[in-house]
Amino acid sequence: MFRPLITMILSQRLRSPVTATCLRRMYHERVVDHYDNPRNVGSFDKNDPNVGMGLVGAPVCGDVMKLQIRVDEESGKIVDACFKTFGCGSAIASSTIGMLLAINSWSSNCSILAVKLAFLSSDFFYRKL
């Protein structure tokens, strides 16, 4: 119900003071920054043996996220990460923040990162209500 309104407001890119005020009430300014300037958008070669991929979607709201990591074979560290997200502003912002959290982490910690990202995403969502 609110998704079209939020998408419209976010697409305005703070053109008017009224939009800026509404946007501040719905999203934290860091979330808006990550939505406006997403980091690590893209994809890796799917045939690369050092690349892992996860695909997740939310049937209720229609968000779809494809997350990829590149792991160094010797150290087991995540050396690069990228994503493609089709969804609302909070989904895009949480994807870009998740990629920043993942880089330079150990691949064995991916489940911990997933839990952190889930909490972060839900926190962003409930702040805008």
Share of the chain above pLDDT 70, in %: 60
Range with top average pLDDT, 10-14, 24-28, 110-114: 24-28
Provide the pLDDT for residue 97. Answer: 81
Helices (H), 1-129: 3-12, 17-26, 29-36, 89-102, 110-127
The whole-angstrom separation of Cα 95 and Cα 47 is 23
18-74 pLDDT, tens digit per residue, is: 445 545 557 777 778 888 888 888 998 888 888 888 888 776 778 888 888 888 888
- What per-residue string of b and e applies to 15-53 under the rule 16 or more CB within 10 Å gives b? eeeeeeebbeebbeeebbebbeebebeeebeeeeeebbe
Share of the chain above pLDDT 90, in %: 0
Q: In terms of CATH architecture, what is 29-127?
A: Alpha-Beta Complex (3.90)
